[in-house]
Structure 1
Amino acid sequence: MARTRSPNRKKSKAANAGSSVFQDIARNPLLWLLAAVPAVLWIGHARPDQSTLLFILSALAIVPLAALLSRATESIAHRTGDAIGGLLNATLGNLTELIIALTALKAGEYMLVKASIVGAIVSNTLFMLGSSFLLGGLKYHTQEFNRSTARLQAGMLFLASVALVVPSAFGAVQGEQITAKLSFLLAVLLILTYGCGLVFSLGTHRGYFGSAVSAGGHDEEEGLWPVGEAVAVLVIATLLIAFVAEVFVHSLEGAGAALGMGGAFIGFVVVAIVGAAGEIVAAWSGARKNKLDLSVGIALGSAVQIALFVAPVLVLLSFVIGPAPMTLEFWPGAIFMVFAASLVAALVSGSGRSAWFLGLLILSVYATFAITLYILPPQAH
């Protein structure tokens, strides 16, 4: 009789290996910021003139929503296999940034959209990666990661840099119509390249992109939600982000003037870091657990998603929902920052090892860009 219960015990242990949405909200202080969501929606309806308050509250509200979205995507992707999981991450990994950018795109805030694109690429490559190296290095003397993965991501970032240089270099000479046509064709090329990159890393050459440090399989299951809960959270969080993003974008002009921040700085720093809050926390957690491959994969993979997937999608959608087509023509400083980020990724990928001081150096590069953009904001482009 006692032996017949053992399968049920195994099932219960397997069920307990995961987690639930409410358990995570109760024990994760970051998710307590969900209280800001109803406050934003109510104040946005009752007092839409309170721009600064709405800006701060909506930024705080997006952080836990982005974290929920990231965890839901991870829970679904983990149970669907590498191929479908990679496609889900490509589509949903940067959904928060995409929703914010789409809202700004419909409002004609093209400087904010372009600054958020550049900011997401640079902050993921420099801020997320540098802080992960720093936090992991403070706990471990040195850490290792797979050089093949980092080199692939660095190469794809370099391609994105080239795609930004061409329309930016020739756009002023050729005129808006030619630049829009060029941007459209380059957007299609970048999306196709990104799709081929997924096939390469998850299909034909998957064996080259394993972890440099072996880890137990039980940790992979911890914190994952049941598929039904994950799908429900995915839908609800996406809808809430859409509503909050609309309030956020509409409050930018008044809040920026009151706080002394231009649209470029807000897009580069605030939107990029707030939108990637969930991924940043996951990258930090991986580094502190000596799973640096996870941190490097999240940071550089997210940057590549923005450069080769999100940015081209925004260009294509601008022909449909924007007041005018958006081009890939950026201000010169933006091109330099993306090139610098791809150069850092290439240099970091060479050794496959890191330490805390390397993380500090990478963070210093990011701080240099953020300070410069705050003191010397670019003109509308």
Structure 2
Amino acid sequence: MKILRYLLIFIPISLIAEFMDISQPLIFLFSALAIIPLAGVMGESTEVISYYAGNRIGGFLNATFGNATELIIAFFAMKAGLFDVVKASIAGSVIGNILLVLGLSMLVGGLKYKTQYFNQKVIDVTASMLLFAVIGLTIPAIFTYTVAPTLLTTRYEGLSVLVAFIMLAIYILSMVFSFFTHKDLYMVKSEEEAAPKWSLKKAIMVLVVATVLIGIESEVFVGTVEPMTKVFGLSQFFVGIILVPIIGNAAEHSTAVMMAYKNKMNVAIEIALGSSLQIILFVTPVLIFLSLLFSPMSIVFNTFELIALIFSVLIANRLASDGESNWLEGVQLIAVYIIIAASFFIL
């Protein structure tokens, strides 16, 4: 972690490069390198907050602040009219969290510990919610693809807004469920831990500052997306579903793996699956509502994105069934992610 702090120098470098309008590929590289150490700092502050507030709230805060970056990236892309990139980044975030982040967490943790255990009941609830969320994304697409265009009336445009309202309502109810009516379900036995190196106040301040800086760097990063697709011949789908989520969700990536390495699989899985749930039930509806200020964005994803989402969530439900994980399961998740990434790369 100390080595990563040397990369903080890329924060002023990336901003200067953006101000001087130098090569777009270099700005892309500098902004990405600036986000990586900021993600590490965010992970450290979240770990301290988890010590004071508990693993559940710690995982929730990390996913929330990490997804704030994703929301900022998607907002500027949407403002620029890059709706395909926005929807691809939403799908890519969910797929990346379930397959790549969770896979890396299980692999890294499994190499240190033969078998790791987690709260099966909690993960079952989150995995079931993910399945519902993906169904909510799938139905509008199936409706669009199966109904004749001549039968689609102007009222169809309100379908995305209606689905967004329902998803946001379910998200709020899930918060009530986990923090109030069934909070005992999320209580785990605390282990003896070393005292945190920061106070709670300092940890919160560091978390907020890191989030703001990640938001600034994300704005710089998203401005290089279109130039990068032209320079390197990449499709917007690949950039949206692979590159943007990896950079935008760097906070969750590093923190989840770090927690798994410390044998805190409850936090690692809560970050990976909880973040995916927030992307669908919170970030997506907010983006739908914000799009009404510019040009309304539909909630319809393309066929391959939906298939990848469905299979990812089915895998998550399968892994949650036994309450334990190992390094081989991590390798399997990463392998599926590579296959999906390769498929989008050749588009």
Tell me the TM-score normalized by structure 1: 0.82
Q: Do the aligned partners of 2:113 and 2:263 also contact (CA within 8 Å) in 1?
A: yes
Matched residue type, 2:342: I
Task: Give the paired residue count.
Answer: 343
**Following TM superposition, by how much is the alpha carbon of 1:234 offset from its aligned partner in structure 2, in angstroms?**
4.0
CA 1:182–1:197: 2 relative to 1, 3 Å = same
Which of 69, 73, 81 lines up with 1:96 in the alignment?
69
Instruction: State whether structure 2 residue 341 is matched by structure 1 residue 362.
Output: no
Instruction: State whether structure 2 residue 137 is matched by structure 1 residue 188.
Output: no
Which of 4, 8, 20 lines up with 1:46 in the alignment?
20
Partner SS for 2:321: helix
Alignment of 1:225-374 (within 5 A): 225-320=198-293, 323-374=294-345
Match of 2:94 in 1: 121
Match of 2:193 in 1: 218
Q: Do the aligned partners of 1:194 and 1:309 also contact (CA within 8 Å) in 2?
A: yes
Instruction: State whether structure 2 residue 39 is matched by structure 1 residue 62.
Output: no
Matched residue type, 2:316: A
Q: Deviations over 1:258-302 (max 9, x none)?
A: 223222212212221222222222211222222211211111111
Q: Do the aligned partners of 2:288 and 2:296 also contact (CA within 8 Å) in 1?
A: yes
Q: Deviations over 1:28-80 (max 9, x none)?
A: 222322211111111111125x1111111112222223333454455456546
Matched residue type, 2:312: A
Match of 2:8 in 1: 34
Any gaps of 5 or more consecutive residues in structure 2?
A: none
Q: Percent identity, please.
A: 38
Instruction: State whether structure 2 residue 86 is matched by structure 1 residue 109.
Output: no
Q: Do the aligned partners of 2:67 and 2:278 also contact (CA within 8 Å) in 1?
A: yes
Matched residue type, 1:375: I
* Distance across 1 between alignment mates of 2:60 and 2:191: 25
* Distance across 1 between alignment mates of 2:184 and 2:315: 25
Q: Deviations over 1:339-378 (max 9, x none)?
A: 01110111001111112111111111111111101012xx
* Distance across 2 between alignment mates of 1:78 and 1:191: 29
CA 1:286–1:232: 2 relative to 1, 3 Å = closer
Q: Do the aligned partners of 1:86 and 1:202 also contact (CA within 8 Å) in 2?
A: no
Matched residue type, 2:2: N
* Distance across 2 between alignment mates of 1:236 and 1:208: 32
Matched residue type, 1:94: N
* Distance across 1 between alignment mates of 2:28 and 2:9: 15
* Distance across 1 between alignment mates of 2:299 and 2:172: 20
Alignment of 1:120-139 (within 5 A): 120-139=93-112
Based on CA coordinates, which of the two structures has the bigger radius of gyration?
1
Q: Do the aligned partners of 2:65 and 2:211 also contact (CA within 8 Å) in 1?
A: no
Q: Do the aligned partners of 1:179 and 1:327 also contact (CA within 8 Å) in 2?
A: no
Deviates more, 1:311-320 or 1:255-264: 255-264
Any gaps of 5 or more consecutive residues in structure 1?
A: 1-26, 377-381
* Distance across 1 between alignment mates of 2:56 and 2:263: 25
Tell me the TM-score normalized by structure 2: 0.90
* Distance across 2 between alignment mates of 1:286 and 1:72: 13
Instruction: State whether structure 2 residue 178 is matched by structure 1 residue 201.
Output: yes
CA 1:360–1:310: 2 relative to 1, 3 Å = same
Matched residue type, 2:11: V
Q: Do the aligned partners of 1:286 and 1:294 also contact (CA within 8 Å) in 2?
A: yes
Matched residue type, 2:16: W
Partner SS for 1:327: coil
Deviates more, 1:78-87 or 1:237-246: 78-87
* Distance across 1 between alignment mates of 2:93 and 2:140: 20
CA 1:78–1:319: 2 relative to 1, 3 Å = farther
Q: Do the aligned partners of 1:125 and 1:345 also contact (CA within 8 Å) in 2?
A: yes
Matched residue type, 2:5: L
Q: Do the aligned partners of 2:59 and 2:271 also contact (CA within 8 Å) in 1?
A: no
Partner SS for 1:350: coil
Cα RMSD after superposing both structures: 2.4
CA 1:289–1:186: 2 relative to 1, 3 Å = same
Matched residue type, 2:169: L
Matched residue type, 2:193: H
Which of 113, 121, 139 lines up with 1:166 in the alignment?
139
**Following TM superposition, by how much is the alpha carbon of 1:141 offset from its aligned partner in structure 2, in angstroms?**
1.7
* Distance across 2 between alignment mates of 1:148 and 1:271: 32
Matched residue type, 1:312: P
Q: Do the aligned partners of 2:55 and 2:267 also contact (CA within 8 Å) in 1?
A: no
* Distance across 1 between alignment mates of 2:179 and 2:253: 23
* Distance across 2 between alignment mates of 1:252 and 1:104: 9
Partner SS for 2:309: helix
Determine which structure has greater relative contact order: mean sequence separation of CA pairs < 8 Å that are 6+ residues apart, divided by chain length.
2
* Distance across 2 between alignment mates of 1:359 and 1:300: 14
